[in-house]
Structure 1
């Protein structure tokens, strides 16, 4: 008997990126841990971009979205550059990938795009808090985590909506079948 190999689930690469990210943060405190964590998040955003422009794509990226993404990225680099020192290049590259993910999400359903935008707000607040002297917002850690969780939740809700529509459901709340109107099995 020959063994049969089943392909790995589609989410496997994303799970691997998440595990690597968590291990990097837990094992490496300080700037090294920050860089490894940021790199792992960058890989996760590249995975998001692949999903947004591939299986989750439902439309085109609007030109205004590209302009907004470039303005956000340029503004963040300009504001943070004087304070980044040796972290300028990695933070700028991560910001470029993060902004690109938010822009590419505009080619999907509105829930996914809103989730990506809220995630962008979370990371923007995090960057301003970490690098911009004097930046202070009441309960900032709570706001960052709420924005992060809300953003991820909206992305997931959007993905579920896309999957349900592609499976033939008119909307996310539609019943699978109306039992009373189903034809009897004979």
Structure 2
């Protein structure tokens, strides 16, 4: 993947602020961690837009997903607000990946797609009961992120792995919020490490994915004749 200087600069910036955020989480520098996290998604968005200068459907929707992810990072102090922002982000990711569904496990390897479904179901069974009034939000979010992860397999291995890591990050959030709150000493660090890695892998995979080329109906008719 050949990257121009602006894209490399944004990628380096993302790695630096993401590393600073993780160091700050370990050192309990709360303000530094908040500032670094607030800079992460803008840096990743800058990388996406400079590495993919063509504003196709995939790039636009992934860019919107990063914006809503940033909203969740910055304004998601309440768990329901955070879920709402990231739900929109996951819907944007799923919409971006939808045109590539024919190359995903949904079409090519249905048993693996079913495995994704079983994992999501297991998460719901464990997390939904202790979530109480937030159980519907948990169920909807789990179903959407599971769909996103399945569709992500149609783009590239990087995006597919990133989506799985994203599920892992959100699972840690769900477990430490509803199931075993306060029992995992490094929960915030683990959440942020997996989250920042997931976003990076997804965007790297998107940058490497060619646009879906649609065949105009007229050409299809002419070829048939």
Q: TM-score, normalised by structure 2?
A: 0.58
**Residues 1:112 and 2:159 aligned together:** yes
The residue number in structure 2 matching 1:146 is: 193
* 1:52 aligned to which of 80, 94, 97: 97
2:166 is paired with a residue of what secondary structure?
helix
The 8 Å contact of residues 58 and 109 in structure 1, kept in 2 or not, is answered as: no
Gapped runs of 5+ residues in structure 1?
1-6, 167-186
CA RMSD of aligned residues (A): 3.0
Taking the aligned partners of 2:135 and 2:166, their CA distance within structure 1 comes to: 21
The 8 Å contact of residues 128 and 135 in structure 1, kept in 2 or not, is answered as: no
| Partner deviation per Cα, 1:103-144 (whole Å, 9 max, x = no partner) | 111222111101111111111111111111367444221111
When residues 19 and 114 of structure 1 are mapped into structure 2, their CA distance, relative to the original with a 3 A threshold, is closer
In terms of fraction of residues, the more helix-rich structure is 2
* 1:127 aligned to which of 170, 174, 184: 174
Q: TM-score, normalised by structure 1?
A: 0.69
**Residues 1:159 and 2:180 aligned together:** no
Which one has a bigger Cα radius of gyration? 1
Taking the aligned partners of 1:153 and 1:23, their CA distance within structure 2 comes to: 17
Count of residue pairs brought into register by the alignment: 156
Gapped runs of 5+ residues in structure 2?
1-54, 214-225
